[in-house]
Chains A and B, each alone.
Chain A
């Protein structure tokens, strides 16, 4: 079974803090994705990566950056967290179909 793990299920941070969300997959997939999910807005793509050290902006990259130093790990970074970044963050990896992690519920106060 494909396994995608995320470093935290719940996270509470203060405005202005730098936040790291980590995602690890065990299937040797080249493609990895970060989404945020908000009620009524569905899944929105933040960034994706199709290879180590490669990244592409998704639909809503502002306020975020990513890092992919190893194939199995894809990190999402909030440079200076703001309250409007309170959300559910979902990581996925894929060959064709996407496999999702359990999500991180981030609250920024």
Chain B
């Protein structure tokens, strides 16, 4: 069955450090891929999306993600984290124009 896995439940980074959040999707037909961010008590905001083409996609708030077919991965990165980036991040996949699958989320804590 299709699924999305985010192996890290919690991550802590220092402000100014680089960030990489991992996401793997179940292999097979390449889905459309997304990253969302959720601040406490809020809805999910779309950070970026990958449909096809260039495997490095740029998003809002300085985030980028790289699609790697060989690893069935779509990892989210940011070169320098700000305290306001502390939030929960969700990876999602859309298969066959049929159903969305969300990962279980990674909570990011930013140390001053």
Contacts and interface: CB of A to CB of B under 8 A. Distances in A.
Interface string A10-52: 0000000000000000000000010000000011010000000
For chain A, what secondary structure do more than half of its interface residues adopt (helix, strand, loop), or is it mixed?
Answer: strand
Contact of A96 (B32, B36, B102, B104): B32
Interface residues of B, number: 19
B94 A96 contact: yes
Contact of B42 (A45, A94, A99, A102): A102
B32 A99 contact: no
B44 interface: yes
B51 interface: yes
9 contacts: A33-B100, A42-B90, A42-B104, A45-B100, A90-B44, A94-B100, A98-B92, A102-B42, A103-B42
Interface of A: 4, 33, 42-43, 45, 90, 92, 94, 96-103, 105
